[in-house]
Each structure stands twice: as C-alpha cells, then as structure tokens.
Amino acid sequence: MKSQLFLAVIGTVSCLFFTAVYGQTTLWVSSEGAKLKLEDTAMSETVETLPLGSEVSVLKVKDRWYYVSIPSGKEGWMYRGRLSDTPPQSEATAEGTDLFAGLTGSGIEADEASTARSIRGLSKETEKYADNQNTPAKYREALDQVLAVRISEQQLEEFLKTGHIGEYAK
C-alpha cells in the first residue's frame, strides 16, 4: 500500500514537472520594434528590442502581457499584440522577396518597392489600372501626398501613448 502511494506521488510530481518544462508555448515576434520589457507595462524599461521573427517561449501570462524567455536566456514581458502563434514565412521575412507571399488565397503579386516607386506612389501596374479605370488625376495626387507623409518611431510611439492604443491601452 505504501509503495503504491509512493509511486502515485512520484508519478504525479513527474507529470507536473514535465508539464511545466514541456508545456511552454512558443511564439514569434510579429512586428518590427517589439520590446522585451522589465515589467508588464509599456512604460517599463526596455530589456531588449527583438527583430521580426524572433522566437520566444511563454513562461506565464498576465492580462495582455506575456512573460517570455528568449534564446539568449534573457526574460521579460512582451505585449501580446507583438507576438504570433505561427512562425513567419521565410519568404516574407527575407529581403527582396514577395511581400504578400505568406498570404493564402491572395492573388496579389508584389515585388520589392524601389525608392523611386515609393516616392512616386503608384507602381507601374497600379498606374495602368488607374488609367484603365479613368481615375482622376486629383485622386492620384492625393494618394501621392498621403504616401509622402513620413513619421518617426518616436512620433508613432507618442500617438499610441496619447490614444491609449495597443500596449498603452488602459
């Protein structure tokens, strides 16, 4: 009887140990500039900024924040909106490849935007489509103005803070 109880306790402890070790969830960084934070708040000190596609192991969850460990051994908090449960497509993260390669069911084909095309606004294909649809020049000019607007990471951060958006939500 005592040996059966002993074996049952050892079995239960072993299961709990293996569940804790192997029950970790792996996620991947899904946005540029994802920050590993010291605490579960956007205002906390940044431990490290992780590149797109970095793998993290979730150790615990608290509201909209995950406590994770990264391959270097560092641990910290990450906002859940910066993580994905699927690894990035290697084609989508490689430089100079089809931006929409990871989209299933999409008929969109896009190649890397050159500096000239980015500044001008419309690609050759889009210009041809606009011509075929008789899109007025004023709409093209308006699009060019919108595409010419550039904001810095700091401006984006301030916008998110002010609007309480994403990791700054209350």
- Give yes or no for a contact between 69 and 50, defined as CB atoms under 8 angstroms apart: no
* Token pair in block for residue 14: 């072993």
- In the chain, where are the structural domains located? 2-84, 90-168
Query: What's the pLDDT band for 3 if we cut at 50, 70, 90?
Result: low
Q: Counting Cβ atoms within 10 Å, is residue 168 exposed (0-12), middle (13-18) or buried (19+)?
A: middle
Model pLDDT for residues 90-124, shown as the tens digit of each residue? 544 444 444 444 444 444 444 433 334 444 556 77
Model pLDDT for residues 22-81, shown as the tens digit of each residue? 456 999 999 888 999 999 998 999 999 999 999 999 999 999 999 999 999 999 999 999
The domain defined by 2-84 folds into SH3 type barrels. (2.30.30)
At 144 the pLDDT is 82
The structure's pTM equals 0.53
Look at residues 36, 64, 63, 68 and name the one whose alpha carbon lies nearest to residue 49.
Answer: 36
Residue bearing the bigger pLDDT, 17 or 114: 17
